[in-house]
Amino acid sequence: MVALYGPILDVTSLGEVAMTKATVLYAMFVMALALVLVRRHTRVEEETGRAELLTATRVGREAPLASAVLEAGLVVTTVAFLAAAGDIAGGLPVQGSVLFAASWWGSGLVGIGLAAVACQLTASARTAAFIGAAAIGALYLLRAAGDTSAGWLSWISPLGWNTQLRAWSDPRWGVLLLYPAITGLLVGGAVLLRNWRDLGAGLFADRPGPAEGSPRLRDVLALTLKLHTASLAAWTAVALVLGLVFGSIVTNLGSLFDSPQAQEMLRRIGGEGAVADAMLAAILSVVAMVLTAFGIGVAAHGGTDERDGRTEEVLATATPRSLTIAAVLAVSLLGATWLLLVSGVATAVGYGVQAGGLTHSLGRVVGAALAPAPAVWVVVALAVLGLSLGSRWAMLGWVFLAGFVTVGLVGELLNLPTWVIELSPYQHVAKVPVEPVDWGAEAALTAAALALMAIAWWRFARRDIG
C-alpha cells in the first residue's frame, strides 16, 4: 500500500488518511495531463506540419513551446485550485488542503517540464509520449522504492515530495520551492534543445526504414498490429515492471503496518481480509485501469489515422470496412488482455519469490489480475464505439476512462450517489482474491462489451469516412 499510494506519515490526520490515494497516484494523473497537453501543442503540431505554417509567420521559434507550457501551466493551476476548493468544501483543514493542492500543482509543473524535454528528443510524437510516460513511471517507481526501503530515493522523485511536504500536519513549506526549481531547469533545457534542432526533427536523425515491405504486412490487421507493436512492447514492459515491483513488496508491507492502528487504517482504505490479499486486490484493480489506456490509445489512433486520410487510403483498396474496425477491436482488446495477463504473471512472480513458492501464487494472482478484464473490455469497446461514430469522437474513450477512474477512486470519499459510482464497470468486479470471483458480474460485463462491439462494428460500416 505504501508502494502504491505512498506512506501515511501521520495516521492521526484525517486529511492525510483520506487523501493518501490522491497524494501520489492522482498527482501522477495531473503529470500525465500536463504531458498530453504539452505534447499535443508542440510535437504533434510539428509532425502534422501545422507548426511550420505557424512559425513561418511572425512567431518565434520558441513560441509554440512557450505557449504550450503556459497553457498546461494554467490548466494545472486550475486543477490545483479546484482540488483545494473541493477539499475545503469537503471539510478538510484549509491549510492542509491548500498545501495538498500545491503538491498537485507542483507535480503538474514537473510533468510540464518533463514533457517539454521529451518532445524535443524525437521526431515522432508517439515516441515522445513514451519517453514522457516512461519518465513519469520511473519517478513513481523511485518513490515506491524510496518509501518502502531507502528513504533518500523518495527525495529524488517529485512524487515523493508530495508526501514529504506533509501537507496535513507539520508542513515543510520549503519543499514547495523544489517543484518550480526543477521545472525551470527542465523547461530551460527544452528551450536549449529546441534552439539546437531543426523544426520537425528530433535530436537524433530518423533512421532509414526498409526499402520493401514484409510480405506479412499485407492486410489491415497486420497493419494495425504493426502500428501498435512498439506501443504494445512498451506497455508490456510497464506491466512487467509494475507487476514485479508491486508483487515483491506486497509481502514486505505487513511488517511496516505492525501497529494495530495502522492495520486498522489499512483495512479501511484497501478492503478487508489479509493485508497481502487486500493489497493485491487494490493494486491489480488500479493496474487494470492503467492498462485500459492501451486499448483506448488504439481506438484514438484510429481516429487520427482517419482524419489524416490514411483510413481512406486503406478503404480505397480491397479492404472491407468490417475488417478495418475488426482490426482495431482485435488489437485493442487482445492487447489490453495480454497486458493484464503479463501484469498478473509478473505480480505472481514478484510475490511468489518473496512468499516462497511460485506455484502457490501463480494461479491465484493471475486469476485476480484477469478478473477486471471484462470491465476493461467494456471501456475499450466504448472507445471503439466512439471511433465508429466518427473520427472526432475517437477520443471519447479517454473521457470515459477518466470518469470511471474518478468515481472509482474518490466516489465514496465524495459521497457520490451509488448509481453514479456504479456507472463505472470497474466497480462491478469483485475484489479478487479477497472476495471470490463474481461470475454473474463478469458475464454481464462481457455481454455488455460484446453488445458495444457489435454496435461499433455495425455503425462503422454505415458512415462517411474522413
Partner 1 sequence: MATVAPLIEIQGLVKRFGSVVALDGLDLTVLPGEVHGFLGPNGAGKSTTLRSLLGLLRTQGGRATVFGLDPWRDAVEIHRRVAYVPGDVSLWPNLSGGETIDLLLRMRDVRPDPARRADLLERFELDPTKKGRAYSKGNRQKVALVAAFAGPADLLVLDEPTSGLDPLMEQVFNDCLAEHRADGATVLLSSHILSEVEALADRVTIIREGRAVESGSLAELRHLRRSRVHAEITGGLPDLAGLPGLHDLALTDHTVTCTVDPDGLPGLLTALGAAGVRSLSSAPPRSRSCSSTCTGARRELAGPPRRHGAPGAVRAAPGPAAGLGLGRPARAVLLRLGSGDRHAVPDAAGPGAGRRADQLQPGGGGAVRPDPRRHQPG
**Residues of the shown chain interacting with partner 1 in the complex, contacts defined by CB under 8 A:** 47, 123-126, 200, 206, 208-215, 217-220, 223, 226-227, 230, 305, 308-310, 312-321, 462-466
Give the residue with the Cβ less far from partner 1, 264 or 308.
308
Alpha-carbon Rg for the chain, nearest whole angstrom, is 23
What is the DSSP code (8-state) at residue 393? G
Name residue, grid cell 510533468: 111
**Of the candidates 224, 31, 217, 234, which has an alpha carbon nearest to the alpha carbon of residue 127?**
234
Give the residue with the Cβ less far from partner 1, 121 or 430.
121
Cell triple for 277: 490479499
Give the residue with the Cβ less far from partner 1, 56 or 211.
211
Q: Provide the CA 208 distance to its chain's centre, in angstroms.
A: 31
Degrees, nearest 5: CA angle 90-91-94: 110
Judged by DSSP in three states, 218 sits in coil
Find the shortest distance in angstroms from Cβ 199 to partner 1: 13
Name residue, grid cell 518513490: 143
Find the shortest distance in angstroms from Cβ 458 to partner 1: 14
Find the shortest distance in angstroms from Cβ 210 to partner 1: 6
Find the shortest distance in angstroms from Cβ 413 to partner 1: 42
Give the residue with the Cβ less far from partner 1, 241 or 323.
323
* Contact of 396 with 383, CB cutoff 8 Å: yes
Give the residue with the Cβ less far from partner 1, 55 or 406.
55
Angstrom CA distances, 183 to 296, 400, 426, stand at 29, 30, 35
Find the shortest distance in angstroms from Cβ 42 to partner 1: 15
Give the residue with the Cβ less far from partner 1, 272 or 308.
308
Count other Cβ atoms within 10 Å, centred on residue 54: 13
Cell triple for 236: 508490456
Find the shortest distance in angstroms from Cβ 300 to partner 1: 15
Give the residue with the Cβ less far from partner 1, 237 or 315.
315
Find the shortest distance in angstroms from Cβ 308 to partner 1: 4
* Contact of 27 with 159, CB cutoff 8 Å: yes
d(C-alpha 219, C-alpha 237), whole Å: 27
Give the residue with the Cβ less far from partner 1, 213 or 357.
213
Find the shortest distance in angstroms from Cβ 65 to partner 1: 19
Cell triple for 196: 539546437
d(C-alpha 349, C-alpha 335), whole Å: 21
**Of the candidates 463, 444, 309, 322, which has an alpha carbon nearest to the alpha carbon of residue 386?**
463
